[in-house]
Amino acid sequence: MTLLDVKNVSKQIGGNKIVNNISFGQEALQKMAIAGQSGAGKSTLLKIISGLVQPDAGVTLFNGHRVIGPEEKLLSGHKEIAYLSQHYELHNNYVVKDLVCFQLPIDEKEAMHIFDLCRVGHLLERRTDQLSGGEKQRIALCGLLVKSPRLLILDEPYSNLDLINTEMLKSVLEAVTDRLQITCLLTSHDPYDILSWADQILVMGEGIIVQQGSPQDIYHRPVNEYVAGLFGKYTVLPPELAGKFGLPANGQPGILRPEDFVISGVSGDGVPGLIRKIRFLGGSYEMEVAAGDLTIAVRTTGNQWQVGQEISLTRKEPG
């Protein structure tokens, strides 16, 4: 069932079209992520969906009913849509329990379940000025969840967090969406935050949808270099070389990821190359391989290769 239906939504700010005729749908309990460079229109689109920004054109339907913008109602926002800004400000000098539990619309047992899911039960007696950034964000999330929303919208939730707090928040979101049965829509600049989480990815650029699909489609079959670049390193193969790696012989350039290549010793098979650089990445090695005038990024788990070594490149079997 389609829970969210965005139809031909546009928004112009200062003479510039920030969101330009965007349409898409999101199913109930589907995890959807919006990717794009800064200024692509992601935050504005999320605020329109949440009822916090008035669109110039188009309509957003939530569960079949139009989301009313702030120019049409006194208090902006939709009672079943929770929007968490990337700034997630909390009132200073409040005890967390008083702040989150103020006019609690659910019973205490349900509230404690949410506090446990968000890993903030031990913080309830602290003051807000005694919290870390990650703790403040999870408290702000609790403040939204106790209102029992059906759609949770997160704008760059990981942007201000270190690695430890990022991993904790990811775990919290998995628990929240699964156990509370809440549909989630988020934006992020980090491809690893999106690829491992989303069921569907929508890529925005200059206010429009550039590509939409599964994480696998977006990553392995980007429609252009802009989409490819958002999700990690890639190599654009000219048409004459693309065919040698098994890409469609349609006269168009091909895009392959570093892990799409297989390295072997010099032989008659594959494309010959010369290793220029090797970088250790922890769980893998990344190489720069010169193949004629082209530099190809190659990733491998083995470390048996050396700078200056001649090798042969083939393409890993898709699958």
Compute the average pLDDT of residues 252-264. Answer: 91
- Higher-confidence residue of 25 and 148: namely 25
Per-residue pLDDT reduced to its tens digit, 197-246: 999 999 999 999 999 999 999 999 999 999 999 999 999 999 888 888 88
CA distances from 65 to 3, 154, 167, 191 (A): 10, 22, 35, 33
Per-residue pLDDT reduced to its tens digit, 108-147: 788 888 889 999 889 888 988 888 888 888 988 988 898 8
Compute the average pLDDT of residues 35-52. Answer: 95
Per-residue pLDDT reduced to its tens digit, 96-115: 888 787 656 777 788 888 88
**Strand pairing partners for 9?**
22
Compute the average pLDDT of residues 288-305. Answer: 93
Model pTM score: 0.89
Q: What is the pLDDT of residue 260?
A: 94
Q: At 49, is the pLDDT very low, low, confident or very high (cuts 50, 70, 90)? A: very high
Compute the average pLDDT of residues 171-186. Answer: 92
CA distance linking residue 169 with residue 171, whole number of Å: 5
Compute the average pLDDT of residues 289-316. Answer: 93
Neighbouring C-beta atoms of residue 316, cutoff 10 Å: 13
For the chain, give the mean pLDDT: 91
Q: At 1, is the pLDDT very low, low, confident or very high (cuts 50, 70, 90)? A: confident
Domains observed in the chain? 2-228 (3.40.50.300), 255-315 (2.40.50.140)
- Higher-confidence residue of 227 and 249: namely 227
The total number of residues written for the chain in this structure: 319
Q: What is the pLDDT of residue 103?
A: 58
Which DSSP state fits 95? Answer: B
CA distance linking residue 205 with residue 18, whole number of Å: 10
**What is the separation of C-alpha 194 from the centre of its chain, rounded to a whole number of angstroms?**
3
